[in-house]
Structure 1
């Protein structure tokens, strides 16, 4: 019990501040300090500038030679595609509102690896955790964004042609930020300090602004009406996805730090980026915000249980 409480405290130390900012967004909205116009403009700023800058700065600092565990990345890609396809099938049968299916699917598979996941890995394994997670994060995040564009476009019936779908993927600011950073990382180019510092300013905006906008969009009345979709996405995110990654990773031969990284990255709450993408594409942003809020709170307990289970089995 003492071990569980210690792990719970560790989990809360990472996700607690995220929850606080979400609540602050709710409070500021009720006080009238955050308006629809602010949320709309803030979400666009995060999606088009701040989050791409964060991904670019983070990945450009990663050294490929140190982080190149391509077997882990390959497994992560296969597991992500598997969970995506299963969630697409589930959503087509269990989500009545067709336009909400992409929101549920994205909320189910898209992990907050860049903020919460990295923090988990660093706290659990130190520098080794950062190295093991960095390249994985960069490449799997590309896949996350491609799959998010596909599922949201399908459910919202926007740009359903292959040409339109490819255009949506190629012009996605998050994918552009990641792809632009990959050669910088691979070639180990030293960017000018002016570029790094300027990009870091925008990167630092990402999490607080995204979470404030997400909190301001929470609608507890809608949560009651859409609790089926919210719970479906949350259970998928916090139970189904981590089980697939950990059990699949174990069967694939991953152990110790690699298996721990798979658990820690897959058990994180739904990424704040899912909200800004849904809003940017004209989907049900309230549902996306509610999924983020619920998974953020519940992940404190589910991640702690997962860590305790792996440690009890001697696998982490």
Structure 2
């Protein structure tokens, strides 16, 4: 019941963001500023606090790294098989990337931190870092190749070096690995800031969700929902159960891969020739349905 109430509260905050956008309270400028606070301040603080007292060897094992690669590329391969016959390249490219590109930062990690203990949260931070380094270039490559768009992949890779989320992860793991002691007041302050990551992120995601019912392609959107929030976490469960990892790793990976399609896929679709209206609809649909599937996943692995 506690998990259900928590996820219901998340859904309320998400829909609140959508409502505030509709009323004009969260316009594009205010949403961008709120997004900046979440992305550059709250989320990095959450990641740092989760990892600063743990050595990298405790969190990133060969089994975790290999399992993450296997789940991501296996889901991407399944997505290609399912969507390869779609008539529109613009829609096909979006369908493929939105079937595997997870909302790990704005929903996955904050949700794990609010639901599970520090060990699971620390592993989820590493999952965020590793998968982001792979899924972002992969998404740019798929969209630009299928749509014939001119994408500066090198620029996207260089932007990862300036990514505050990855920077916070590396800083936390480095400090944890050398055993440096962080002052308690600093940890308390960062922990307080990090606790704002989930509500801020949900408001931003809610303010970004848009859809047009007459344009709904039920078959395509249904396939994306099935692949992203049903098949991907089940595949993660199978892979990491087979690898015989500890409970914390299994929990973190299954929940993180059970998150909906990332809002950033809409931005990439708009920039690289994808069907942006279709992309927006799928972000909304996977996010809404994931509230139920995440409840089930958290109940099972928790």
TM-score normalised by the shorter chain: which range applies?
0.7 to 0.9
1:295 maps to which residue? 286
Corresponding position of 2:108 = 113
Counterpart-to-counterpart distance in 1, 2:181 and 2:231: 41
Judging changes above 3 Å, is the alpha-carbon distance between structure 1 residues 275 and 175 closer, same or farther for their aligned structure 2 residues?
Answer: same
Residue by residue over 1:275-296, the C-alpha shift from the partner in whole angstroms, topping out at 9 and shown as x without a partner, is 2575499658876665454334
Task: Work out the CA distance in 2 between the residues paired with 1:193 and 1:254.
Answer: 32
Cα offset, 1:78, TM superposition: 3.0
Structure 1 equivalent of residue 137 of structure 2: 150
Residue in 1 that maps onto 2:170: 179
Correspondence for 2:158: 167
Q: What is the CA-CA distance between 1:17 and the residue it aligns to?
A: 1.6
- Quote the Cα distance in structure 1 between the aligned partners of 2:79 and 2:59: 30
Aligned 8 A contact 1:106 1:151 in 2: no
Looking at structure 1, the residues matched to 96 and 79 of structure 2 have their Cα atoms a distance apart, in angstroms, of 8
Q: Deviation digits for residues 239-269 of structure 1, max 9, x if unmatched?
A: 11022112223333458665555444433x3
Q: Which residue of the partner structure matches residue 245 of structure 1?
A: 236
Q: Gaps (5+ residues) in structure 2? A: none
Q: Distance in 2 between matches of 1:223 and 1:22?
A: 23
SS at match of 2:181: coil
Question: Is 2:54–2:176's contact at 8 Å kept on the other side of the alignment?
Answer: yes
RMSD over equivalenced CA pairs, Å: 3.8
Of residues 278-287 and 195-204 in structure 1, the stretch that sits farther from structure 2 once superposed is: 278-287
Contact map agreement 1:51 1:174 (CA 8 A) in 2: yes
Which residue matches 1:3? none
Give CA-to-partner distance per residue, 1:36-59, whole Å, 9 cap, x none: 211122223333333223222222
**1:121-136 counterparts in 2 under 5 A?**
122=116, 127=117, 130-131=118-119, 133-136=120-123
TM-aligned CA deviation for residue 114 of structure 1? 1.0
- Displacement of 1:221 in angstroms is 1.6
- Structure 1 unpaired stretches of 5+: 1-8
Normalised by the length of structure 1, the TM-score is: 0.72
Which residue in the other structure is 1:17 paired with?
A: 9
Count of residues in correspondence between the two structures: 291
Quick one: structure 1 residues 182 and 21, their matched pair in 2 at CA, closer, same or farther if it must change by over 3 Å?
Answer: same
User: Displacement, 1:143?
Assistant: 2.1
TM-score (norm 2): 0.75
